[in-house]
Every structure is written in C-alpha cells, then in structure tokens.
C-alpha cells in the first residue's frame, strides 16, 4: 500500500520519529482510515510527525488515537484538518444544489437507504464524500463517516430549515405520515423563513400538503375534489409560480382564498396568474391576485372566458322548481354570513348547485368569487322575477288570489312586493338574532334532538382529528361544545388524556387557536385548570 503515498513526503516526516520501526503497519492503518484519500493521508502524516510522545504498544491503536483526538474530534480548529473543513463547506455552501437536499441525499447514504440518481447524488460524488455506482453508494472513508455522521447531518438540517425534523420524518415515511405536516402557526413561520428561496418540488409538495391539511375537517369539499389531486395541482402551480414570486406559497393561499378550492375556479385563476402576471414582489401578492381576479373574472363575468361556468351555476338555481326557497335561503346566508345545517331539502339542493359549502356545521358561500358575482344585489334582482305569475289564465270565479296575481303585472306593485319580501327577510334575520342572543342563558332543559345530534358530531369529529394528530382541528370541534352538552364531560376527559401524551403539540395548537379565535373555549378552560 505504501506506493499510494508520496514517498519523499512520507520519508521526510516519518523518519525523524524516534523508535518507529514498523513503517508498513503505520501505512496500513492510515490507509484503512482514509481509503487512499491523498489529502487526508498527508494530514495524518503531519499529525504523526508533530506527535512528541513516543508510541508504545500497538501502532494501529497509536495512529487511531491521534487521528481521533486531533482530526476527528477537533476538525473545526485543527490546522491539519483543512480537508474536512473543505468538505463541510462543499456540503453546506453548495451553489449547484440546495444544501438542505444535498444533506438529505447524504443522510440516505449514511443510513444505507436507496438513493435515486439525481443532481444531489452526482454532486456528492463530485465532492468525493461518497463512492460507488448508481444506487450502491457508500461513505468514502471512515474519517468522513465519523466526522459527518448522522448527528452532524441532523443538526445542520435543522439550521437550514426550522421545520427540518418534521420534514425529514415526512420524507422517511414517503409522504404518508400526515402527523409530520405543519400546523398553521408553523406554516406562518416557515413562509417568513422561506421568502425569496427557490424550493425543491418535494419541499413544495410538503408545504402544500401542510396548507391543505389545515382546512381538512373544517370544509367539506365538492364531490369533484380529491385531496391527492388537489395537492398535486397546487404543488405544480407553486413550482411554476416560484419563478415569478418571492413567496409562491402566499400566492397559492391567495388563490385558495378567492376560489375556496373549487376545481374549475382554482385551475382558471392559476392559469390567468401564470399567463398575465410578470412577477409577484414580496408583500404585493394579495393585491396582484385580487387585480387579476377582478379584471379577468368578476368584471363582465357573463361574457368572459369563464362565463359558461357561472351561467351553469346561475341556471341551476333559477331553473330549479324550488328556486324561490333556494334564493331565500341563499339570501339569508349572505346576510348572516352563515346558517346552521339542518339537512332540509332546500339546503341539499343549494349544496348541489355548488354555490354554498358546509363549514363547521354551517352553510356558507363557497368562495369569494361566487360571493362577488352572486351577491346580495344579484339575489334582489331575481326577486321581482320570482313574483311574476305563470302564463296560465286563471279560471273565472277564482278567489281573491287571482286578482292579486293580475296586479303583479304592474311595475309599482312588483316593486312593493319585492320590498315587502325583503322586509320580511330582514325581520326574520332580526328575530333569529334575537333568539340566538336569548339563548345565552337558557333555562335548564333537555337538549333538543337536533342539538344532541350536532354535539355528537362535534365529539366524533374531534376524536377523528385527534387520531390523525390534527390537534388544531380537534380544538375547533371541542370548543364548540357547550357546557350543558351531554358530550362535554366525555370530550373534556379525552382532552385531559391526550394532554398527558401529546402536551407540546396540543399547546402549540392551543396557542394558534387562541390567536385565531376571539371566543372563549369552555372545555379548554376547564381542562387546563386541572393541569
């Protein structure tokens, strides 16, 4: 093996060592540690030459001890460890690959996991920290493996991404461990950290899945939607818009804010953004997306490229046999912001139109685009039409309703009737609001069946979210349980148990919940008083 070393160099520094007799043993030991790496060979020889203590006993142990104490354990400060510092810089300051994903690839080699042929693999071989062919790569030598070990790798992954631990666990699960997805609060911190950074598609997928996860359980999506397809769609969009945007995830969230994840609208808005916008500077995402939506979609919606979709929604309502009831119900939803789900035929028909969605056991307008097009003004314009009589002539001798229907022909009476109808709706809304307020301090009485069913759904939904580690969504369900609910104590007991096992995660979810919700949460107040 000695022919692999620089003969003149080795003789100059080794010969002066007193008592050194077995030169071949020294060389063999060095080669076993460096696998022939010339820079490391010379570093070790220089360290041996500087050693003032004579070796005693095993030459192999003597060399290994010096290498460990001088090179491996002090590589960041030892003058002769320059080759190791060069490797570190090549990994952490790489200009060809994202250092985070370069370390992810290196970590796979460390753990003897399968590594796909890609740019990271080629760069690792170029750096010479790994050797081998295709998927059978190994660490180049034991010194590299000891210095750049799993602990060092994980620590630097954490420096490169604040959410590295969760992302690495998600990668290790091949994207199946949804518990590793980020909470709303973690997402906000991640987006602030990532401003201006171009991300790998795999990381974009992780962040998109995290964003989508934070609305699951809150919104019941359209039957057209599939969570996997939605994730793939938005990941592809984020990858494309990242060329234009400093914060592509913010652009994506603005798209979702306007479309509510409605498939056609999501695709249409994303296409318009990619075609019509040159760039999205930091802080201007909201305004620029709004400008595109307003100019290209909402304005002149009946004649633009998306008009067929909106006309279909419109006609679904106006051609329905129960159009009066549907419009009345939709009018109430707009006025109040939401109405409670009661599974009536009118609610089911309105849901089928796609104009509204179920969110937290209430009906709301499906998205901001629909709310802008099918607005309160639009509904009120339809009301006079709904009051018109049929073309069938009433038979002679009909009751007073016949003459009333004839009067509908006059414009003044039509307007009056519309005004009366609107006034009735307002009175109904005020009455409902009064009833809701009067229930703040209800008389003790058995819960109605519909409330009991709703409470059971809240309890069951909360448990389902907890099974998936979706603690924020769990709190959202449990916090809506009233203290006089038959499920309140059971939910409180469950939350108490989960706190014993997942206290940190639930604390994070609670902080996010309290930051987003102004209302108090009786169950949290009770349980945390017990802690």
**End-to-end Cα distance, the chain:** 67
Measured CA to CA, the distance from residue 162 to residue 422 in angstroms comes to 54
* Three-state DSSP state, 436: helix
Model-level pTM? 0.58
Check residue 196 and give its pLDDT: 83
For residues 71, 72, 77 and 83, what is the CA-based torsion angle, rounded to 10 degrees? 70
**Contact (Cβ atoms closer than 8 angstroms) between residue 72 and residue 147:** yes
Residues 6+ apart with CB under 8 A from 288: 277, 280
Tokens of 432: 């409902």
Residues 6+ apart with CB under 8 A from 491: 458, 459, 462, 478, 481, 523
Q: Which run of H or E residues covers position 287?
A: helix 285-293
The torsion angles phi and psi of 327, rounded to 5 degrees, stand at -65, -40
Task: Give the number of C-alpha atoms closer than 13 A to the C-alpha of residue 327, restricted to the C-beta side.
Answer: 28
Measured CA to CA, the distance from residue 28 to residue 69 in angstroms comes to 19
Q: Which run of H or E residues covers position 379?
A: helix 376-386
**Of 381, 368, 297, nearest in space to 331 by CA:** 381
Q: Is the dihedral of CA 182, 187, 193, 197 positive or negative?
A: positive
Tokens of 429: 């809304």
**Contact (Cβ atoms closer than 8 angstroms) between residue 451 and residue 480:** no
Check residue 20 and give its pLDDT: 61
Greatest CA separation for the chain: 132
DSSP assignment, residue 517? -
Tokens of 233: 């769609």
DSSP assignment, residue 136? E
Q: Which run of H or E residues covers position 281?
A: none
Tell me the per-residue pLDDT of 103-112, one tens digit each, with 9 for 90 and over.
999 999 999 8
Pairing assessment for the beta strands 339-340 and 362-365 based on DSSP bridges: antiparallel
**Of 327, 311, 427, nearest in space to 376 by CA:** 327
Residues 6+ apart with CB under 8 A from 159: none
DSSP assignment, residue 140? S
Measured CA to CA, the distance from residue 119 to residue 265 in angstroms comes to 36
Low-confidence residues of the chain, pLDDT below 50? 1-2, 8-9, 217-225, 386-450, 530-531
**Contact (Cβ atoms closer than 8 angstroms) between residue 505 and residue 469:** yes
Tell me the per-residue pLDDT of 253-308, one tens digit each, with 9 for 90 and over.
999 999 998 889 999 999 999 988 788 888 898 999 999 999 999 998 988 888 99
Residues 6+ apart with CB under 8 A from 32: 142
Residue 470's CB: how many other CB atoms inside 10 A?
A: 24
Measured CA to CA, the distance from residue 384 to residue 517 in angstroms comes to 40
């Amino acid at each position: 093996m000695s022919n692999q070393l620089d003969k003149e160099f080795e003789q100059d520094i080794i010969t002066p060592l007193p008592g050194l007799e077995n030169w071949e043993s020294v060389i063999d030991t060095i080669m076993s540690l460096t696998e022939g790496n010339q820079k490391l060979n010379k570093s070790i020889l220089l360290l041996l030459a500087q050693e003032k203590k004579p070796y005693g006993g095993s030459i192999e142990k003597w060399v290994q001890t010096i290498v460990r104490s001088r090179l491996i354990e002090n590589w960041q400060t030892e003058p002769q460890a320059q080759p190791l510092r060069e490797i570190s810089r090549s990994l952490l300051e790489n200009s060809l690959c994202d250092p985070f994903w370069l370390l992810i690839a290196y970590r796979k080699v460390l753990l003897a996991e399968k590594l796909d042929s890609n740019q990271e693999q080629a760069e690792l071989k170029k750096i010479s920290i790994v050797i081998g062919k295709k998927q059978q790569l190994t660490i180049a030598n034991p010194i590299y493996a000891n210095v750049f070990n799993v602990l060092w790798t994980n620590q630097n992954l954490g420096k490169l991404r604040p959410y590295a631990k969760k992302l690495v666990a998600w990668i290790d699960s091949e994207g199946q461990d949804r518990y590793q997805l980020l909470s709303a609060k973690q997402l906000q911190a991640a987006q602030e950290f990532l401003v201006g950074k171009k991300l790998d598609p795999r990381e974009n997928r992780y962040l998109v899945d995290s964003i989508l996860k934070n609305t699951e359980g809150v919104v019941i999506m359209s039957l057209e939607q599939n969570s996997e397809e939605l994730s793939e769609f938005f990941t592809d969009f984020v990858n494309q818009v990242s060329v234009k945007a400093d914060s592509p995830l913010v652009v994506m969230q603005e798209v979702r804010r306007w479309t509510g994840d409605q498939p056609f609208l999501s695709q249409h808005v994303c296409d318009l953004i990619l075609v019509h916008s040159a760039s999205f500077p930091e802080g201007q995402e909201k305004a620029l997306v709004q400008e595109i939506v307003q100019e290209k979609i909402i304005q002149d919606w009946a004649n633009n490229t998306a008009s067929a979709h909106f006309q279909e929604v419109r006609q679904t309502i106006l051609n329905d046999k129960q159009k009066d009831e549907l419009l009345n119900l939709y009018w109430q939803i707009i006025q109040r912001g939401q109405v409670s789900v009661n599974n009536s035929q009118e609610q089911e028909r309105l849901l089928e139109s796609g104009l509204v969605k179920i969110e937290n056991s209430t009906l709301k307008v499906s998205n901001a685009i629909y709310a802008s097009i099918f607005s309160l003004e639009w509904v009120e314009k339809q009301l006079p039409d709904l009051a018109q009589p049929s073309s069938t002539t009433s038979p002679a001798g009909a009751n007073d309703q016949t003459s009333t229907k004839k009067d509908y022909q006059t414009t003044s009476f039509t307007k009056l009737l519309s005004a009366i109808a609107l006034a009735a709706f307002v009175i109904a809304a005020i009455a409902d609001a009064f009833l809701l307020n009067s229930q703040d301090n209800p008389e003790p009485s058995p819960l109605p069946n519909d409330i009991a069913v709703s409470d059971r759904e809240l309890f069951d939904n909360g448990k389902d979210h907890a099974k998936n580690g979706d603690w924020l969504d769990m709190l959202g369900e449990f916090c809506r349980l009233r203290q006089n609910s038959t499920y309140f104590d059971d939910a409180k007991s469950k939350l108490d148990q989960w706190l014993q096992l997942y206290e940190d995660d639930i604390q994070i979810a609670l902080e996010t919940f309290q930051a987003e919700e102004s209302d108090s949460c009786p169950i949290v107040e009770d349980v945390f008083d017990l802690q």
